[in-house]
Amino acid sequence: MSWLPMLGLTALPHLGGLYGGYVTRKQVKTWYTTLNKPSWRPPNTAFPIVWTTLYTGMGYGSCLVWKECGGFTEDAVVPLGFYGLQLALNWAWTPIFFGAHKLKMALIEIVMLTGAVGATMVSWYPVSRTASLLLTPYLAWLCLATSLNYCIWRDNPDEDEKEE
């Protein structure tokens, strides 16, 4: 495998992560501190470390699928299509939650994202078991993040209405 596609496909998810970090940076110190959050939430310092790890794993997994399918071929349409869908949903969550402060919309979006990651894993498994398993920590983190999003939405009932 050439190092250039591997590097590019592994780095691709980080682009949305960089944008998400830009959107989040100010909000974590201002708006986010005003929200009621559950006591079990991870510390803010954990998020960039976790997301860097998850983005690298999913990116490398996509590279394995791309390689096994022979590049962007007809065989790659479904597995890489699901991957693209979940990546777009992943990148959209941060601007909805932190940018627009739409807690309920972010919750609906992250549920769709979690389903899309599950579909991606199922579509990757016959192509590359390793690639599919690389998404397991991501799916687990999304379950935690979905629970956190739900609790924040539930415990801040007026937040969505304040912005309208």
* pLDDT 10s digits, 4-19: 888 888 888 888 888 8
pTM score: 0.90
Burial 127-156 (b: 16+ CB within 10 A, else e): bbeebbebbeebeebbeebbebbbbbbeeb
Which residues are CB-contacts of 14 (< 8 A; sequence separation ≥ 6)?
52, 55, 56, 59
Residue found by looking up tokens 């990546």 in the block: 87
Domains and CATH numbers, the chain: 3-34+42-158 (1.20.1260.100)
Find out whether 79 and 123 touch, Cβ atoms under 8 Å.
yes
Cα 31 from Cα 6, distance rounded (Å):
38
- Angle at which helices 136-155 and 103-124 cross, to 10°: 160
Q: What is the dihedral of CA 59, 62, 68, 69, to 10 degrees?
A: -140
pLDDT digits (tens, 9 = 90+) for 109-164: 999 999 999 999 999 999 999 999 999 999 999 999 999 999 999 999 875 555 55
